[in-house]
A and B are shown apart, each in its own frame.
Chain A
């Protein structure tokens, strides 16, 4: 058999295989095109226009004007505050959320009785609606002595005067971060628990025979072996931090003076309150690119084996 006929045979074989699987991948491919690829292309296009929602064909092409407006134009102050707050949200919620979630997972993993009960209780915050929890948080952090948090902080002599939590930038942001941590630890705990259950008991037994302490086992066995889980949790929490919306929308609406605004809240207002759809699309493209850049950065500097 010469080289040409071998190539022809393998091409035919490949084509046959493709035809055989085509019906199965066709549906998914069409839906990805309709609901993922097309909207993304359209979104980028809209970000380059002054979009007219009633007559899209009359939208005026403005090039990178919407991007310039955000980075250096009239909106730069508001945009950079929103961007800063997203980064701060990630910095102040991801590490504590992961740490607390991991500790809870390790504790629950070691509990024999009521294991399911603890899991359910700790996962509950994830299931509760954002709006309901926001209202509860508004009451918890209410101003004056009547607010539950103020009441206990004053009772414990930590505070002399009650704090008006939502009246200053950093206390309002702090409430948003606490809210974010509380809402995410249940999910982190469940994912880590799954990771922990994948570690063979033999490794711990071997370490015990070698005289390893509990701390040593945790630091030298558990942490390294759940690295893929940590990687997965980190990716999701970073994406989640860029998508923070309800906490801000419900608790502060961006106040005071717009200093707790985040990108999603800012984008929502631009689109649906002010009807600046082109500009709102530019904000969404910037958000997407930021996540992409962070992912590339993380891959470059935190490389390790993936399962």
Chain B
């Protein structure tokens, strides 16, 4: 009898422990679900958008001390003046493994309602069917007409728009004034040949190279490769053969390889030291690097005063750089899409765009704000905005990271003379075509 009772007690205890463990798991998931707007907010059945009651969860990676502060203390309160019943739950996410976290959240239905997403991720998540197409939403056409085409295209996948532009950036040429003077130049070189000539003149005093290119992937290399007349693919982003291995592309990469052989390109391009920022500051370092607007924001005044800012030098092609930035996207699991869309539109508004531009140097995607005299009076801002007009939005394709890896490896092989330039670009064209076909 006693044995039976103890067995029953043991069974009961075991089941209790299991139940508690399972409850632990399930409470976690219900917690995540409760973060979704529909779960805690009201419905969108109200007659006026002013009356919508909801909670919208917004994931971003704004830095806590500057950008997130402006967002939380200025932008969101301004939104709430207009929509007092929509609560914005602003969540600053860690940047480490961020894509993995977003992917897991999207797959498990616990993604946020809206997110500030890197422009290269948008086609990837759109292709996974994780995002809501917003081109049919109220007011989208106004946003479209007030956006730059290059930035708007970063939201496009298979003829639909899965988000709206939020902020943008590009890279421009930054020169060390002392090196420019040393090379006998009073202003930034206008062409790639002038740049190479200047570097050649003083290369003896710069053992680590003079042109600081940070790698061989699209972000780092495209401003040089494209400005020298190269192309990665056709304008419709459907094919690489005949473009990345065209005579013009081969000539462009061959020129870059010869620069590297002569010691004109900095060691940072192939994983060496110093990095671009340290290299630009050093006396015997890089004469020129190319970087985004954060360079000017994060450097001290002494450094920025010693530098000259200019558009990328041109060559057979015009001066071309590369588009960076973020878009606002809405996830499929968003339960109150109307409220989420209102917030997305507000982030594109003149007020939000101008405030973020003035306070934290986030470059606007709203054409009207970009032409505001308060912003254009800043000479550095002006150069970046001019460069953006001829910048390339990279390849909007779900396989962009795989493509970028293939591009990076092919270019690196050419620089290291593992095969000729033509052999590497021919092989690359085939790899890229396979990836275009995979997602067509």
- Contact A54-B130, Cβ < 8 Å, known A20-B7, A142-B273, A275-B103: yes
- Contact A144-B14, Cβ < 8 Å, known A54-B128, A74-B434, A257-B413: no
CB distance from A256 to the nearest CB of B (A): 6
Residues of A close to B270: CB separation below 8 A:
167, 256
Residues of B close to A166: CB separation below 8 A:
271-272
- Contact A257-B402, Cβ < 8 Å, known A24-B10, A27-B17, A54-B128: no
Residues of A close to B103: CB separation below 8 A:
53, 272, 275
Residues of B close to A275: CB separation below 8 A:
103, 124, 128, 398
- Contact A164-B267, Cβ < 8 Å, known A143-B272, A273-B99: yes
- Interface 1/0s, chain A 225-266, versus B by CB < 8 A? 000000000000000000000000000100111100000000
Residues of A close to B399: CB separation below 8 A:
274
CB-based nearest A residue for B208: A144
- Name A42-97 residues within 8 Å CB distance of B: 52-55, 74
CB-based nearest B residue for A272: B100
A256 touches B13 (CB 8 A): no
Residues of B close to A258: CB separation below 8 A:
409
- Interface 1/0s, chain B 2-20, versus A by CB < 8 A? 0100010011011101100
B99 touches A272 (CB 8 A): yes
A55 touches B273 (CB 8 A): no
Cβ of B145 < 8 Å from any Cβ of A? no
Residues of B close to A256: CB separation below 8 A:
270-271, 412, 416
Residues of A close to B91: CB separation below 8 A:
none
Residues of B close to A54: CB separation below 8 A:
106-107, 128-130
Residues of A close to B434: CB separation below 8 A:
74
Cβ of B418 < 8 Å from any Cβ of A? yes
B416 touches A257 (CB 8 A): yes
- Interface 1/0s, chain B 244-270, versus A by CB < 8 A? 000000000000000000000001001
Cβ of B350 < 8 Å from any Cβ of A? no
CB-based nearest A residue for B109: A54
CB-based nearest A residue for B97: A272
Cβ of A206 < 8 Å from any Cβ of B? no
Q: Which one, B14, B124, B401, B412, contacts A24 given CB within 8 A?
A: B14
B271 touches A255 (CB 8 A): yes
Separation of A257 and B417 alpha carbons in the complex (Å): 12
Residues of A close to B21: CB separation below 8 A:
31
- The secondary structure that dominates the A interface is loop
Residue with the greatest number of chain B CB neighbours at <10 A, chosen from A53, A167, A257, A272: A257
Residues of B close to A272: CB separation below 8 A:
97, 99-100, 103
A273 touches B401 (CB 8 A): yes
Cβ of A224 < 8 Å from any Cβ of B? no
Separation of A164 and B11 alpha carbons in the complex (Å): 64
- Name B82-111 residues within 8 Å CB distance of A: 97, 99-100, 103, 106-107
- Contact A143-B416, Cβ < 8 Å, known A23-B13, A54-B129: no
CB distance from B32 to the nearest CB of A (A): 17
Residues of A close to B130: CB separation below 8 A:
54
B107 touches A53 (CB 8 A): yes
CB-based nearest A residue for B128: A54
A27 touches B18 (CB 8 A): yes
Q: Which one, B273, B405, B416, B418, contacts A144 given CB within 8 A?
A: B273
Separation of A55 and B416 alpha carbons in the complex (Å): 43
A/B pair count, beta carbons within 8 Å: 82
Interface residues on B, range: 35 or more
B10 touches A55 (CB 8 A): no
Residues of B close to A144: CB separation below 8 A:
208, 273-274
- Name A265-297 residues within 8 Å CB distance of B: 269, 272-276
B409 touches A23 (CB 8 A): no
Residues of A close to B274: CB separation below 8 A:
144
Q: Which one, A142, A146, A255, A274, contacts B402 given CB within 8 A?
A: A274
- Contact A23-B11, Cβ < 8 Å, known A142-B273, A143-B272, A257-B412: yes
B271 touches A23 (CB 8 A): no
- Name B279-310 residues within 8 Å CB distance of A: none
Residues of A close to B3: CB separation below 8 A:
20
CB distance from A293 to the nearest CB of B (A): 30
Q: Which one, A30, A31, A74, A143, contacts B273 given CB within 8 A?
A: A143
B10 touches A23 (CB 8 A): yes
CB-based nearest A residue for B18: A27
Cβ of A26 < 8 Å from any Cβ of B? yes
Residues of B close to A19: CB separation below 8 A:
7
Q: Which one, B7, B14, B267, B416, contacts A27 given CB within 8 A?
A: B14
CB distance from B157 to the nearest CB of A (A): 14
Separation of A70 and B402 alpha carbons in the complex (Å): 16
- Contact A167-B271, Cβ < 8 Å, known A27-B17, A54-B128, A272-B100: yes
- Interface 1/0s, chain A 130-156, versus B by CB < 8 A? 000000000000111011000000000
CB distance from A19 to the nearest CB of B (A): 7
Separation of A272 and B3 alpha carbons in the complex (Å): 53
B128 touches A257 (CB 8 A): no
Separation of A269 and B409 alpha carbons in the complex (Å): 15
A26 touches B14 (CB 8 A): yes
A164 touches B402 (CB 8 A): no
CB-based nearest A residue for B403: A274
Residues of B close to A74: CB separation below 8 A:
431, 434
- Interface 1/0s, chain A 160-193, versus B by CB < 8 A? 0000101100000000000000000000000000
Residues of B close to A30: CB separation below 8 A:
18
CB-based nearest B residue for A255: B271
B409 touches A257 (CB 8 A): yes
Residues of A close to B18: CB separation below 8 A:
26-27, 30
Query: What are the 7 A-B residue pairs with the smallest beta carbon separation, nearest first?
Result: A143-B273, A23-B10, A23-B14, A23-B11, A274-B402, A272-B100, A53-B107
A-B CB contact pairs (8 Å), 19 listed = A23-B15, A26-B18, A27-B14, A30-B18, A31-B21, A54-B130, A143-B267, A144-B208, A144-B273, A144-B274, A164-B267, A167-B267, A252-B271, A256-B270, A256-B412, A256-B416, A257-B413, A274-B401, A274-B402
Q: 14 other contacts beyond A52-B128, A273-B405, with CB at 8 A cut-off?
A: A20-B7, A23-B10, A23-B11, A53-B106, A53-B128, A55-B129, A143-B272, A144-B273, A147-B273, A164-B272, A257-B413, A273-B99, A273-B402, A275-B128
